[in-house]
Amino acid sequence: MDSGSEHDLPDLFLRTARRIRRSMHARLAPLGLTPGQARALRILGRSEQPLRMAALAGQLDIVPRSATTVVDALESAGLVSRAADPANRRSTLVTPTAAGRAALERMAEDRRRAAADLFATLSPEQRESLRELLALLDVDAADQCGPNEPRRAG
Amino acid sequence: MDSGSEHDLPDLFLRTARRIRRSMHARLAPLGLTPGQARALRILGRSEQPLRMAALAGQLDIVPRSATTVVDALESAGLVSRAADPANRRSTLVTPTAAGRAALERMAEDRRRAAADLFATLSPEQRESLRELLALLDVDAADQCGPNEPRRAG
DNA sequence: TATTGTTATACTCTATAACTATA
DNA sequence: TATAGTTATAGAGTATAACAATA
């Protein structure tokens, strides 16, 4: 009734993002995970190797300090473990535990269903278009506005 | 280098949203406004009538309590004013002040440029496609996941 | 000295619950 | 009693700055 007009592209984008985040939050709450924690766990789960904190932060597109908070929570929940990198003792390697991998499996199905729900108003072709457009936006995006990338002029 | 793969639609979406929010934050910081405050001010500025708190919350797609915080900040900054609705003294009517309207004008140009930057990797046709897809997503979106709408089954 | 991660802190955004004033 | 808004509080997400350990 009050949402259909006058929004520019960034506005529309953040509006939908808010809705997605709200939905994820509700879906994950019963599992005791926040959307950010679940996202980090997925990244760790799909990685072949244990990830350093900085690498995880890079994939999450947040500063390393913020990754610490996320990993702290996951570690407390027993879903990931930290270990010093033998090759470079400054580095911390993070890996999902067995419980972490089990949680990922439990979440996967639910996640697919939720995504389908969220984008239910789009046809499969439209969803594919959206995916392509988002991928385009993502390409050099981090270079421009990422928190970890060096700032450039402009 | 590390962002190009394995993201589903919600992930891609939130990733870009994060980037947009970061860009807005940086752009608005010199003006002493947060993205949320600027958004509320724009909604108030484009409204013909003064808005009640609940109406503003509705357009912002947040709960009324959250709108209070935003309006508090705008009022402190002298950009909006609150007045009791003469017709119903329970209601509060919010209007931009002259300073608020001036701030909106100052922001408008900058905002257009920022939006162009953010979506620079897309052609005009692609931007239009994206706009249409987002509009579709927005249609019955609030009904499903909004914080103010009554919860339904499913 | 440079790098990696962390401790300490702060701010934005949003939520629920309880309360006040009004209807 | 129901409604509009607020006070009080909390938690998620993210940031900067200073510091320790290691290289």
Does A10 contact B at CB distance below 8 Å? yes
pLDDT value at A69 more than 70: yes
CA distance B61 to B22: 20
Ordered by where they begin, the domains of chain B are: 17-145 (1.10.10.10)
Q: Which residues of A touch B7 (CB under 8 A)?
A: 138
CA distance A113 to A106: 12
Question: What is the arithmetic mean of pLDDT over B112-135?
Answer: 93
Q: What is the 3-state secondary structure (H, E, C) of B66-85?
A: HHHHHHHHHHHCCCEEEEEC
The pLDDT value recorded for residue B23 is 94
Q: pLDDT-derived band of residue A149, with 50, 70 and 90 as boundaries?
A: low
Question: What is the arithmetic mean of pLDDT over B90-119?
Answer: 95
CA distance B15 to B12: 5
What is the side-by-side order of every strand in the sheet holding B92-96? B51-52, B92-96, B80-84
Q: Which two tokens stand for residue A55?
A: 């690498």
Does A65 contact B at CB distance below 8 Å? no
pLDDT value at B66 more than 50: yes
Question: What is the arithmetic mean of pLDDT over B87-101?
Answer: 98
Does A13 contact B at CB distance below 8 Å? yes
CA of B84 to C1' of C16 (A): 26
Nucleotide nearest to A66 (CA to C1'): D14
Question: What is the arithmetic mean of pLDDT over B14-41?
Answer: 95
CA distance A1 to B43: 15
Is the C-beta of residue A53 closer than 7 Å to nucleic acid chain C?
yes
CA of A78 to C1' of D19 (A): 28
CA of B90 to C1' of C21 (A): 7
